[in-house]
Amino acid sequence: MAASAFASRARRWLKSAREFLYGMAGHEFERHAVELRAELDDLFVLITVGDLVGVPIMPPYYSLRLMPYMLPRLDAWKRRVLRERHLLDTPDYDLHQI
């Protein structure tokens, strides 16, 4: 019983250590990849359903055809694109390491 409790605790520690190491080494790559994808994604959404935020670019016919695919992510997109941003919010300030 004691041995299995020890093994379980050791596994938890190992998992935490792995996650910590990933946080130090890989998490910023993941974040940056997501940011790069989001830039393209934002552009795509803007040219397809931009009229939702007051930028009528695409004829509504195509927007409506694409709507079923876009709908699930429109809320998150509007939150991100319309959020007030300050200089200190830019990703460059995220990578300072001082």
Partner 1 sequence: MGNGATPVLLLVAGVLVLVAVMAGAGLSNTLIAIVVGGLVIWGGYKFYATQIDRKVIQSDANRRTPANLYMDGVDFVPTNRNVLFGYHFKGVAAAGPVVGTITAALLWGWVPALLWLALGVIFIGWASDYSAIVVSVRNEGNSMSATAHRLISPRTRQLLLLFIFFYLLLVVAAFTNITTGVVVNPTVPLGIIALAVMGVLAGQMLYRWRQDLIVTTGITFGITLLAVLLGADANGPVANFFKSFNAGLDSITGGQAVVTTLDPTRPAGQQEVRIMPHFIFWLAGVFLFSYLGSALPIWRFAQPTTYLGFWLTASAMIVGFLGAAIAGALLLVGNPAFATLAAFKLAPFTGYMAPVAAGIQPLWPMLFVTIACGAISGWHALFGSVGTARQIDNERDMLPVGGGAMFAEFALALLSLLAVTAATQQGAGAARFAAGVGGFFSVFGIPAAYGTAIASAVFVVIVICTTQLIFRVMRVTVSEGIGDAMPAFRNVHVSTLFCMLLTFLLVITGTFIYLFQLFGASNQLMAALSLLIVAVWLASTGRNPAFAAIPFLFMYVTTIAASLVTAYNLWDTILSKNPAPIAIFGSGLMIVIALLLVVAALVIGLDGLRAYQRYRQRPGEAVPSPAGT
Segment 33 to 52, residues that bind partner 1, using CB under 8 A:
33-36, 38
Q: Which is nearer to partner 1, 8 or 90 (CB)?
A: 90
* Complete DSSP assignment for 43-71: HHHHHHHGGGGT---S-HHHHHHHHHHHH
Q: Please pick, from the candidates 9, 25, 45, 55, the single residue that binds partner 1 as defined by CB under 8 A.
A: 25
Say which amino acid occupies 37.
Answer: R
- The answer to whether residue 8 forms part of the interface with partner 1 (CB under 8 A) is no
- The answer to whether residue 94 forms part of the interface with partner 1 (CB under 8 A) is yes
Cβ(55)–Cβ(45) below 8 Å: no
Binding site for partner 1 (CB under 8 A): 15-16, 19-29, 32-36, 38, 73, 76-77, 79-80, 84, 86-98
